[in-house]
A and B are shown apart, each in its own frame.
Chain A
Amino acid sequence: MTCEAVQNRLLALPDPMSATGDVREHCEQCERCAPFAARAVELDAEIAEIVVPAYSQEVKAAFLARITMAGPVIQSVPTPLFRSSVSLKELLSRIPLRPLLAVAAAVVVSLGIWSVVPTKKLPVPEPEAMRHDLLKKVVRYNTDLAALTGPKDKIAKLSELAVDLRNETRALSKAAQKDEMVSLAGMYDKVVQDGIVAQAGLWNPLTTTPGERQAVLNAAASELIQTANEANTLATSASMQVQPQLLRIAKTARDGHTRLTKIANGEGS
């Protein structure tokens, strides 16, 4: 039997001295319950000596009537901890700010670390390798040219391709070796001579207005002379390996410009 159970049994007895069996045995052996039992016996004796005041039936009836009276059980409302009229300043002064700020700071720091450090449970996405922009563009030029039938549109499209090759040449001129620059120069040759100039020569003047033909060809020629100037500039600071190819590109562009200008002016193809 637990001490709590023994003590409850003692309190329930009309006379603590009359405890028997397990309760008596426990009280005799337990260091906690033995003094509890002794005190219970003392209290019982003291209560017995209390003089009970005389009472009458009227007093008893009045008492019973009071405790059985109808109405709210709670007669008074306890005073709240904070008054409704307390100011914000007073309220804040009662809240411990220092530990609260420390907790908030710890939460923010933890969130920051959690957002940076990848968790093992999240699936790692496939890393996307770098893609060559020029290759993507050349594929697009192929699909675009597949849909074009007239020289005007073809010349404009091939001129765009020539500009992209110029941009690639510029990007690679410092780092490229001879093989790469030979490749670029070769591609540029094909686009200008076998593409732009060839289409300009095939463009029948009777299928368009002189103004439109001249505008398209002059626009293409303008890009070519820009390429020639840029390639010449790059060649002045290029290595001995790539300089000849840059000069080759410049010559191709200049020759292309000359031929386009002649065609635009009606001086032949």
Chain B
Amino acid sequence: MKRLFFATLLFAAFAALASGQPTTPGLLASEQLKLFKSNRELLEDLVSRSIDLANANDPLTRAKACQKATSDIGRAMGTAVRADDAERVAELGEYLTALMDQGLTPTLTDARRQTPVGSPGEIELVQFHERASLEAEQLELSIPAMGRIGTSARVKDARAKLHIAREALGKVGR
């Protein structure tokens, strides 16, 4: 009877231990390589944008670099949509929202603030703002609303946040 009692306790202890273990303790070299390969092109583009941003001397130039970065991610997202990869679409949607919220919209706001009304710079700024807003709308609409991607909870969440970021971009200067 004592053996049965302690064996039961031991089983319960192991069951509790197993349930608390992480499912992905770390990436293998092959997994790391696979991730790098799938992101290589996008990484090269975004590192170039980092240099553009570092070398920019005014808000409009920084805004243009941010807008190019969103275009880079938009291209990668198009590839993910064609591949019906919901998780990838959600991931890129999140990065798109971050770049819009923390990059494009703030730099455009700074540019608006620093550009005198009626100046030649303002015309260029307004035209850029319109193009950026239009592209942001197209990026949002490129995310399917039906099918495997459209019904994914993560994609729905990413699209909702992207929509908010796009609306904030559109309201800059108003």
- Residues of chain A having any CB pair with chain B under 8 Å: 97-98, 101-102, 104-105, 108-109, 112, 115-116, 126-132, 134-136, 138-143, 145-148, 154, 157-158, 161, 168, 171-172, 174-176, 179-180, 183, 186-187, 190-191, 194-195, 198-199
Q: Which of A130, A141, A145, A161 has the most CB of B within 10 A?
A: A145
Closest 4 interchain pairs by CB? A145-B53, A143-B102, A112-B15, A129-B87
- A116:B65 contact, CB within 8 angstroms: no
Q: A112-B12, A135-B42, A168-B36 are in contact. Are A191 and B51 (CB under 8 A)?
A: yes
- A139:B46 contact, CB within 8 angstroms: yes
Q: How far is the CA of A127 from the CA of B23 in the complex (A)?
A: 12
- B48:A190 contact, CB within 8 angstroms: yes
B34 to chain A: closest CB distance in Å? 9
Whether, in the assembled complex, B91 has its beta carbon less than 8 Å from a beta carbon of chain A, the answer is: yes
Q: A109-B11, A126-B154, A146-B62 are in contact. Are A171 and B39 (CB under 8 A)?
A: no
Q: How far is the CA of A216 from the CA of B99 in the complex (A)?
A: 27
Q: A130-B35, A135-B35 are in contact. List 11 more A-B contacts (CB 8 A).
A: A129-B88, A135-B43, A138-B47, A138-B50, A143-B102, A148-B54, A158-B54, A172-B36, A180-B37, A191-B47, A195-B50
- B33:A172 contact, CB within 8 angstroms: yes
- Please give me the residue from chain B that is nearest to A104 by CB atom: B8
User: Given the complex, which residues of B lie within 8 Å of A130, measured CB to CB?
Assistant: 24, 27, 31, 35
User: Given the complex, which residues of A lie within 8 Å of B87, measured CB to CB?
Assistant: 126-129
- B4:A105 contact, CB within 8 angstroms: yes
- Please give me the residue from chain A that is nearest to B103 by CB atom: A146
Q: How far is the CA of A134 from the CA of B152 in the complex (A)?
A: 25
User: Given the complex, which residues of A lie within 8 Å of B50, measured CB to CB?
Assistant: 138, 141-142, 145, 158, 161, 191, 195
Q: How far is the CA of A161 from the CA of B43 in the complex (A)?
A: 12
- A102:B4 contact, CB within 8 angstroms: yes
- B interface: dominant SS: helix
User: Given the complex, which residues of A lie within 8 Å of B15, measured CB to CB?
Assistant: 112, 115-116
A134: contacting residue among B11, B31, B36, CB under 8 A: B36
User: Given the complex, which residues of A lie within 8 Å of B73, measured CB to CB?
Assistant: 139
Sort chain B's interface into a size bin.
Answer: 35 or more
- B44:A183 contact, CB within 8 angstroms: yes
- B29:A171 contact, CB within 8 angstroms: yes
B170 to chain A: closest CB distance in Å? 19
- B33:A176 contact, CB within 8 angstroms: yes
- A interface: dominant SS: helix
Q: How far is the CA of A112 from the CA of B18 in the complex (A)?
A: 11
Within 8 A of A (CB), among B74-118: 86-88, 91, 95, 98-99, 102-104, 106-107
14 A-B contact pairs sorted by A residue (CB < 8 Å) = A105-B5, A126-B152, A128-B87, A129-B91, A130-B24, A130-B31, A135-B35, A138-B43, A140-B98, A142-B69, A146-B65, A147-B106, A175-B33, A195-B54
- Please give me the residue from chain A that is nearest to B29 by CB atom: A175
- Please give me the residue from chain A that is nearest to B15 by CB atom: A112
Whether, in the assembled complex, B132 has its beta carbon less than 8 Å from a beta carbon of chain A, the answer is: no
Q: How far is the CA of A115 from the CA of B103 in the complex (A)?
A: 46
Q: A135-B42, A180-B33 are in contact. Are A142 and B5 (CB under 8 A)?
A: no
- A195:B51 contact, CB within 8 angstroms: yes
- Please give me the residue from chain A that is nearest to B102 by CB atom: A143
- Please give me the residue from chain A that is nearest to B30 by CB atom: A175
- B11:A132 contact, CB within 8 angstroms: no
A151 to chain B: closest CB distance in Å? 9
B158 to chain A: closest CB distance in Å? 12
B112 to chain A: closest CB distance in Å? 15
A142 to chain B: closest CB distance in Å? 5
Q: A112-B12, A129-B87, A146-B107 are in contact. Are A190 and B4 (CB under 8 A)?
A: no
A227 to chain B: closest CB distance in Å? 16
